[in-house]
Amino acid sequence: MPSYSWAKLWIDTLDDHKVGMLSDHLWRRFFEFVLLAKELDQDGFLPTIGAIAWRLRSTPHAIEEDLEALAEVTGGEPGPGLVQLLDGCWHITNFAKRQAKPMSDAERKARQRARDRQPSRRGHKVVTARDTDQDQESDQESDQESEEDQDQHQEAAASASVDNPVDNSQRPLDDEEEEICSALVDLGLVKEKAGQVLSQCPRGRVRGWIEYVCHSNGRIHNPPGYLWSMLMETEEEAPRVRAPPGKQEDKAARKRKYGAYAHPEQPP
């Protein structure tokens, strides 16, 4: 099975006069040889002539003629042609250089550090072993800081999840919650907001406010908006409303009736 399913094709090949002057047949053959060499993955060496002929649906004699023709293409410059015969095996010239594997992040970072340590034209100091040790210590400190930052982010995310709990208003409701939800909907609150109220407010508090609105005798002009503000807004945002005259109750009685969320001057 081939090691690669692709080969690099450089754009500057369009300006390479050695490749550009090839005939259409040799131009096609050359790139077919490049693909075969990449598939073999032996730094530019080609398979045997018989194997090439079978793969390209040709004859060994025709393949050998094409290789010899490409070996003579030097562009008038000293040196080998596009292909050459090495130790009895055909090899594509400069294949390993043109098809070099991409550098990993670690290799790229190491080369960057090596370049940074080189003296520049402005006369930077020569790097010593002490500088190398300092660089290593700096890298370790950077890694430690990164781990600390990651821990801080995780703590912040955990704190945010506590301060802003996940809305579970879409969960199934039990029988008591269904009854409370129906009462809220009857008073004009949409079902989605009713579910949100049940997911974030104690049931006793919700029942208390429902009873208060039901016994308001029409004095509340916007019951759903009133319920939403009383149940969902903070104590600073929600208006403080006294109970209707004649229905003031002491603290103990209100606690028995509405639970621990009752206020002496405010409905539950």
Strands (DSSP E) contained in 45-109 are 83-86, 89-92
The residues spanned by each domain of the chain are: 11-98, 175-258
pLDDT one-digit tens code per residue, 134-157: 556 656 666 666 666 666 666 665
What's the CATH number of domain 11-98, 1.10.10.10, 1.10.1240.10, 3.40.50.300, 1.10.3720.10? 1.10.10.10
Residue 168 has what pLDDT?
A: 54
As a whole number, mean pLDDT of residues 93-103 equals: 81
Distance separating alpha carbons of residues 46 and 42, to the nearest angstrom = 8
- How far is residue 68 from each of residues 34, 36, 71, 255, measured CA to CA in Å? 15, 17, 5, 103
Q: What is the DSSP string of 194-207?
A: HHHHHHHS-HHHHH
At 116 the three-state DSSP class reads helix
Share of the chain above pLDDT 90, in %: 22
Matching residue, tokens 């010593």: 128
Backbone angles phi, psi at 249, to 5 degrees: -130, 155
Closest CA to 213 of 164, 250, 169, 180: 180
